């Protein structure tokens, strides 16, 4: 009897011990709470970075904690544009460039393109030329500005000045290039790439692309099968004849690959420019803050620098900086970045110096009735092109597709090594309620369903009946540019007299005042638009990056 009791006690103890160990095991980072299986075991199986703390701030960026704010609340509307209505919006946390992209930063991009795709080779000439800023933007019919035309981009005296003459399309391409170069560096530091491979192994037919690395790692030099130091995902590993692991690739699960650099949305840019993070004044929170800095004036009220201008802007007719030596903003054209105090987020020149491209397609009305979270107009959804054998279609040097813009410039649609993109189709949209087509730029404002004349609108009439075109909501000029069989450019300028607007799907929003603008445009809520394939001497840009994980850094640290 005692033996039976003893056995029962031992059994209960064993069960308790087993239960305790199971509980401890289930709470372990490397034990699955779904199955109890071991994660990241040497024997193989599911591999995941269970020690990830938070997203590392990428080069040049500062953290912007998201929140709610009143978008579009301008203090003055002397232009009577009626393109702003105050709306309450919420923005997710993100990162933004501390400064505008400078000439030296852009020159690094041009140098890389010139080295990898030499303009001396006919097929690559358009790649480099398509990325060059338009230095002729400095010219004026009645002004002497040739010193900027010849020197502003390349002279070291302007190295830290914001780059201008860059179109919206060129700014997007710079952001894509920057994403790949930063991830290249991340992989090298983590031991997935050989040291200095990014400068010694890159060629025109073997370049690094983040998307290509993720989807087809063996198709880029970053996914070769050389022996690495083993800090990688073992499920991708192969073993050579000597028993060494080869072909070890990083995946998204490692947390090493950074989200992409991109242009900020208009909502993100305006939220970041206001810099509300340290302000708790009720009136300011409700949208009565006029500039990125505190107060209602453009001059500093601090004792040591009282009277100094807080931004670089045009102060009056014929006055681009003030009287020399006194009351001067320190610049006549642009100024070096960080020449003025940052706002409360630590961002420089969110008013003045140069206006900045944002990613949105321009529409006069912000449709906050449909969406008030991460608002953005301009979604065009694409997917990877797939070959017949099921692999992704990677652009080769002989397959580059070039687009001719409305001004005659030629740009490469995709660079060699990148994955070719195609519009999403019914496979992705069927029975979905959140999107139903590839291109949603015109959604609820611009498509025929948005027009008051929708009932009488007939697609077959377009191009035949001029009056049919006027029934469109945005009836803008339609200039065309083509090339003949000899490659000569044929330009056809739209001279139709029945056009009613300059707004179309190829105009993008730009924000913030510039060295060429009056104080009125320094208000972060002001908005203007410009063709996406054209450039000026007063529009630059800065990049942004989405944040993954927790909303705030403090919560991420507490959690871990």
Q: What is the pLDDT of residues 82-141, one digit of tens each?
A: 788 889 999 999 999 999 999 999 999 999 999 999 999 888 999 999 999 999 999 999
Q: In the structure, what pLDDT confidence band is assigned to residue 29 with cuts at 50, 70 and 90?
A: confident
CA 409 vs CA 70, 128, 379, 491: distances in Å? 39, 12, 24, 12
* pLDDT at position 461 over 60: no
CB 445 within 8 A of CB 360: no
Per the document, the length of the chain is 560
Q: In the structure, what pLDDT confidence band is assigned to residue 551 with cuts at 50, 70 and 90?
A: very high
3-class DSSP assignment, residue 321: coil
Look at 459 and 174; give whichever has higher pLDDT.
Answer: 174
For residue 51, give every residue at least 6 positions away whose Cβ sits within 8 Å of its Cβ, in sequence order, or none: 29
- CA 496, 500, 504, 508 dihedral sign is positive
Q: What is the pLDDT of residue 147?
A: 95
Q: What is the pLDDT of residues 215-256, one digit of tens each?
A: 998 887 766 555 444 444 333 444 444 444 456 788 899 999
What's the mean pLDDT when you consider all of the chain?
A: 83
3-class DSSP assignment, residue 69: strand
Q: Domains of the chain, with CATH numbers?
A: 61-191+256-377+506-546 (3.90.1580.10)
pLDDT > 70: percent of the chain: 81
pTM of the model: 0.88
Strand 245-246 versus strand 480-483 pairing type: unpaired
CB 146 within 8 A of CB 124: no
Q: How many CB atoms lie within 10 A of CB 318?
A: 6
DSSP string, 401-469: -EEE-TTS-EEESS-TTSBPEEE--HHHHTT-SS--SSB-TTTTTTSGGGSTTGGG--GGGTTT-HHHH
Q: What is the pLDDT of residues 323-333, one digit of tens each?
A: 777 667 889 99
Closest of 112, 127, 95 to residue 184, by C-alpha: 112
Q: In the structure, what pLDDT confidence band is assigned to residue 213 with cuts at 50, 70 and 90?
A: very high
Q: What is the pLDDT of residues 48-77, one digit of tens each?
A: 888 888 999 999 999 999 999 999 988 777
What does the CA dihedral 394, 124, 208, 93 come to, rounded to 10 degrees?
-100
């Amino acid at each position: 009897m005692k033996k039976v009791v003893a056995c029962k006690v031992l059994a209960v103890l064993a069960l308790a011990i087993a239960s305790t160990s199971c509980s401890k095991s289930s709470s372990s980072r490397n034990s699955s709470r779904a199955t109890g299986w071991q994660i990241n075991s040497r024997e193989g199986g599911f591999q995941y970075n269970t020690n990830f703390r938070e997203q590392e701030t990428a080069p040049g960026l500062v953290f912007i904690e998201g929140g709610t704010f009143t978008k579009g609340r301008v203090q003055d509307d002397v232009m009577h544009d009626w393109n702003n209505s105050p709306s309450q919006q919420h923005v997710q946390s993100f990162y933004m460039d501390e400064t505008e992209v400078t000439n030296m930063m852009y020159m690094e991009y041009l140098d890389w393109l010139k080295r990898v795709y030499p303009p001396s080779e006919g097929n690559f000439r358009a790649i480099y030329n398509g990325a060059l800023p338009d230095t002729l933007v400095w010219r004026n019919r009645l002004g002497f500005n040739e010193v900027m035309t010849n020197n502003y981009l390349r002279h070291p005296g302007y190295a830290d000045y914001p780059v201008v003459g860059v179109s919206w399309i060129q700014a997007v391409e710079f952001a894509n290039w920057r994403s790949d170069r930063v991830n290249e560096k991340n992989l090298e530091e983590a031991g997935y790439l050989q040291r200095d491979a990014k400068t010694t192994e890159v060629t025109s037919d073997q370049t690094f692309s983040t998307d290509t690395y993720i989807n087809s790692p063996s198709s880029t030099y970053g996914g070769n099968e050389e022996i690495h130091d083993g800090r990688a995902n073992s499920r991708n590993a192969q073993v050579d004849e000597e028993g060494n692991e080869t072909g070890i690739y990083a995946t998204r699960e490692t947390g090493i690959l950074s989200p992409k650099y991109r242009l900020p949305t208009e909502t993100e840019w305006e939220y970041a420019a206001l810099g509300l993070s340290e302000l708790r004044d009720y009136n300011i929170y409700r949208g009565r803050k006029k500039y990125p800095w505190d107060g209602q004036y453009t001059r500093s009220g601090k004792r040591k620098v009282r009277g100094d201008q807080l931004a670089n802007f045009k102060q009056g007719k014929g006055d681009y900086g003030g009287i020399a030596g006194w009351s001067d903003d320190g610049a006549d054209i642009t100024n070096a970045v960080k020449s003025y105090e940052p706002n409360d987020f630590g961002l420089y020149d969110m008013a003045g110096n140069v206006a900045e491209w944002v990613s949105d397609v321009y529409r006069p009305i912000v449709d906050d009735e449909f969406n008030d979270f991460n608002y953005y107009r301009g979604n065009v959804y694409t997917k990877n092109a797939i070959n017949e054998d099921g692999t992704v279609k990677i652009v080769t040097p002989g397959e580059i597709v070039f687009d001719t813009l409305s001004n005659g410039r030629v740009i490469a649609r995709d660079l060699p090594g990148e994955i070719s993109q195609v519009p999403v189709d019914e496979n992705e949209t069927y029975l979905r309620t959140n999107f139903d087509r590839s291109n949603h730029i015109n959604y609820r404002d611009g498509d025929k369903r948005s027009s008051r004349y929708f009932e009488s609108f007939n697609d077959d009439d377009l191009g035949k009946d001029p009056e049919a075109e006027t029934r469109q909501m945005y009836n803008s000029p339609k200039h065309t540019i083509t090339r003949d069989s000899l490659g000569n450019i044929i330009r056809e300028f739209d001279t139709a007299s029945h056009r009613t607007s300059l707004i179309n799907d190829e105009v993008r929003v730009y924000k913030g005042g510039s060295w060429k603008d009056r104080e009125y445009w320094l208000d972060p809520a002001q908005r203007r638009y410009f063709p996406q394939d054209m450039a000026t001497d007063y529009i630059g840009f800065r990049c942004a990056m989405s944040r993954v994980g927790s909303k705030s850094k403090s919560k991420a640290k507490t959690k871990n």
